[in-house]
Structure 1
Amino acid sequence: MIDGTYTAVVDRFEDNLAVVLLENDGETVDETVFDRERLPEDGRHAGAVLTVELEDEDVVDIIYEERETVDRSEQAQQRFDELSQRPPTAGDTEDESDTS
C-alpha cells in the first residue's frame, strides 16, 4: 500500500477480520485486511465507506463516512430497482391505429 488517504469500502468479514477495498479516484487500487475491532463501531458492516489514512505503510486513521455510505447504498438500490423492472413488451403499448 502506498502512503496517502484513500476511500475504502468494507467488502466482507472473515471471522474477526474485515476485508477492505481501497479506492483512488473511484477505482479499486488495493485490498487490505483489518481486525474488525480496528474499524469505527458504526463502520463495522459490509458496504461501509471509510476514509483510511496510511503513513509509512501503517494505518494512521480510519473514519466512517456515513453520508457516503448512505449515498452509495441508495444508488445501488436504485440500479437494482431499474434492472429488476420487466422491460416493456409489444403488448404493453397501445397501437394508435387501433383506436376508433
Structure 2
Amino acid sequence: MIPDGTYTAVLDRFEDDLAVLEVAGEDERYELAVDQHDLPQPAQHADAVLEIEVADGALVDADYKPAESEQRIDDAQDRFDRLSKRPPSDDDDP
C-alpha cells in the first residue's frame, strides 16, 4: 500500500475503466489503479504527469502537469529517434 502523502505520478496504462499510475516514492515505486474518471479530463492519456495526494491507499486529489507531460513525451521521442538511427557499418568505410 502506498503511504499517505503527495507524489509525482505518471499514467502508465488503462485497464478497462481503470487508469494505472506509476508512483515514485522516496525509495520505492508503486502502482495505483484509479477510476479514470477520477483524473482531470486533460490528464486522461498515457504518459500524463500528475501530482497526486494519497490517503489510506486511495487517491484524494490529482493535479495535471501539462508542461511536465509534454516534456516527458518529447524526451521519449528523442530517445526513440536516437535509438532508431543505425550506427555506421564497416561496409561504409571508404
TM-score for the superposition, normalised by structure 1: 0.82
Q: Which runs of 4+ in 1 moved over 4 A?
A: none
Flag structure 2 segments of 5+ consecutive residues without an equivalent. none
Give 1:8 shift. 0.5
Greater RCO (CA < 8 Å, at least 6 residues apart): 2
Counterpart of 2:15 in structure 1 is: 14
TM-score for the superposition, normalised by structure 2: 0.87
CA RMSD of aligned residues (A): 1.7
Give the length in aligned residue pairs.
Answer: 93
2-structure distance, mates of 1:44, 1:62:
11
Flag structure 1 segments of 5+ consecutive residues without an equivalent. 95-100
2-structure distance, mates of 1:16, 1:58:
16
Identical counterparts, % of pairs: 45
Contact 2:34–2:59 at 8 Å: present in 1 too?
Answer: no
